[in-house]
Amino acid sequence: MGQIALIAAIVAWVADAIVLILVALGFWHRSRTPAEAELRV
């Protein structure tokens, strides 16, 4: 049972790192995009 929890913890940590990278890229993209190019929905 502990082996499954270890694998789940590692998978969760990797997923967290991927989300963190995507958030950082989103903020970087937002800062580079001019205000006129933004879509107003």
Question: Using CA atoms, how far apart are residues 35 and 28, in angstroms rounded to an integer?
Answer: 14
Q: Strand runs (DSSP E) across 1-41, as ranges?
A: none
**5-30 pLDDT tens trace:** 999 999 999 999 999 999 999 999 98
Give me the pLDDT at residue 19, please: 98
pTM (two decimals): 0.72
Containing 11, the helix (H) or strand (E) segment is helix 2-32
